[in-house]
Amino acid sequence: MKSIYPLLVVFALLHVTHAEWKPSGEGWVSLFNGKDLSGWKTPSGKHTWQVIDGVIDYEAMGGNLATGKSYQDWELHIEWRFKRTEGTGYTATLVDGDGTPIPGPDGKPQKKTFPNADSGIFVRGNGQSQVNLWCWPCGSGQMWAFKGHKDPDVKKGAWPDKNADKPVGEWNAFDITLKGDTINIVNNGVTVARETRMPGIPAEGPIVLQHHGGKNAKTGEWSSASALIQFRNIWIREL
């Protein structure tokens, strides 16, 4: 009789969904207990925010999920992954490091269609303070509201220095520091935003996990930018 031990190991690995992150230093507070959405404000009406296997799970229906408390300056550790992509794909303009479209042989901006999923973190409660999570070629960590800002330094800083995302289905880890209107973002150990300004964002606000996309009510088809996403290990330290 063959041993079933290898099969049991594979089964166990497939069901390990919550790897605990331990903060170092004092002052860290967990924003997610791994069991339920205590401390969070769920959107009104129907939504699909829930806790499954120790992670916050979202299936692209309903509004945003927000902390019950507002924050000013802080350090945040948050892990996220897209479960899968749906829809026909998204077509985006390819850009260089400061957001300038990359021209093709015909001189027109190059475009690329790719499988996509889309979500974000509002670091001070509203869309102006959004940090993108998605499958775009530029990588996650873009500051959407400032990608076309008139100040060239702000515009350049709004685009990630590098695409440090892991493939869809794998966990990513953001370590974000926010002081005033200046943000630093480390994605999977790689700094993708360094001393980037977000002028005009609120002085304080909740941490918000973004709803995005969903199914077409008439056709039943998924949007190509649906937020089929999960979160875990959410810790904050106020500064």
CATH assignment at residue 125: 2.60.120.560
Query: Per the domain annotation, does 101 fall within a domain?
Result: yes
The β-bridge relationship of strands 130-134 and 118-122 is antiparallel
Instruction: Extract the residue ranges of the chain whose pLDDT is less than 50.
Output: 1-17
Query: Per the domain annotation, does 14 fall within a domain?
Result: no
Nearest to 181 by CA among 199, 208, 158: 199
pLDDT at position 165 is 97
Q: Which two tokens stand for residue 202?
A: 């609120």
pTM beyond 0.75, yes or no: yes
Nearest to 79 by CA among 125, 1, 21: 21
- Is residue 29 within 8 Å of residue 75, measured between CB atoms? no
Helix (H) or strand (E) holding 40: strand 40-41
Query: Per the domain annotation, does 111 fall within a domain?
Result: yes
Q: Could you tell me the residue range of the domain that residue 158 belongs to?
A: 21-238
Query: Per the domain annotation, does 226 fall within a domain?
Result: yes
Nearest to 133 by CA among 125, 124, 142: 142
Nearest to 58 by CA among 48, 69, 45: 48
- Is residue 185 within 8 Å of residue 99, measured between CB atoms? no
Segments in 69-157 forming alpha helices (H): 152-157
Query: Per the domain annotation, does 126 fall within a domain?
Result: yes
Instruction: State how far the Cα of 140 lies from the Cα of 163, in Å rounded to an integer.
Output: 7
Instruction: State how far the Cα of 120 lies from the Cα of 132, in Å rounded to an integer.
Output: 4
How many Cβ atoms from other residues are within 10 Å of residue 122's Cβ? 21
- Number of domains the chain is built from: 1
Question: pLDDT tens digits for 121-167?
Answer: 999 999 999 999 999 888 999 999 999 899 999 999 999 999 999 99
Query: Per the domain annotation, does 192 fall within a domain?
Result: yes
Phi, psi of 103 (to 5 degrees): -75, 145
Helix (H) or strand (E) holding 93: strand 90-93
Query: Per the domain annotation, does 1 fall within a domain?
Result: no
Query: Per the domain annotation, does 169 fall within a domain?
Result: yes
Nearest to 112 by CA among 124, 100, 129, 94: 94
